Copies of this chain bind each other. A is one copy, B any other.
């Protein structure tokens, strides 16, 4: 069974004097918005800064002046974004960032990034880039181009791990695994002390977590199956410095790091990325909205020949 773990992602910043996302929008609206991309809300946690919704496909975080939504699988995230813009009007938008990681079963996707751009272009002008080579790991990023200027302290970190070790894959694909077993595996007590956690174990496997502490968030989504294993972390806390602990658990063959406004990127990468990994690409751009984006893919170079993956020709290969 193959599953497209790679997320589509949107962050919408609004003028909170015109529209307070926490006070002016009822939870029902967020249910409707999530429904538009063909996902649903499973559960939620909140504090005075943030509402965090765990979705059937990834996560939605709402702060007073912005929301962030990540959806995986074959969801139609662009529909949720269009729904929001149509409900509240372009005039309240301060910034729109829309992002898609290259997909591995893109044949099965309801739209491609180019299709999504056409919908965004109906409402906002912008710029779009491909961070990374076409034939390597890459991220498509669109942003609204207006008079908005990014806060230099507004940092985002993504860590996306591929081909996790056989050990980690087997463990995380065990049927009937409990939340507590997964929390212990990742050692969240140490990784994110004092965060409030909302997590979910999917049937037969798969795991999602939202964690918040004041205005800080972390979200993790685990697609553990060996044929297409993928684990994504996204946060506004520094994930680069947590890389050694995460790598120890997952032992991936390959991972991506993408940051917004991490100005000490090079120093941190030198300090924290385990030495057996090598950068296959390093891409950097300061967007016209002021965000500095950096993207790298890291890979453990092959030493020995290995066997190919066998494909069950009678299986469900609709996406290969």
A-side residues, CB < 8 A to B, are 104, 106-109, 112-115, 117-118, 121, 126-137, 140-142, 162-163, 227-228, 253-254, 278-285, 293-296, 299, 301-302, 304-311, 313-314, 316-320
Contacts and interface: CB of A to CB of B under 8 A. Distances in A.
Given A107-B112, A121-B313, A313-B142, A133 B163 contact: yes
Q: How many copies does the complex hold?
A: 2
Contact of A129 (B113, B284, B294, B310): B310
Contacts of A137: 135
Contact of A317 (B106, B114, B285): B114
A314 B125 CA distance: 10
Given A127-B313, A129-B311, A307-B284, A319 B162 contact: no
A302 B282 contact: yes
Contact of A134 (B104, B114, B306): B104
Contact of A313 (B126, B227, B296): B126
In the A-B complex, the 4 residue pairs with the closest CB atoms: A114-B317, A114-B320, A129-B308, A128-B311
Given A129-B311, A296-B302, 17 more contacts: A104-B134, A112-B317, A112-B318, A113-B320, A115-B317, A117-B311, A128-B310, A129-B308, A129-B310, A135-B162, A135-B163, A136-B299, A141-B308, A142-B313, A278-B278, A280-B301, A293-B308
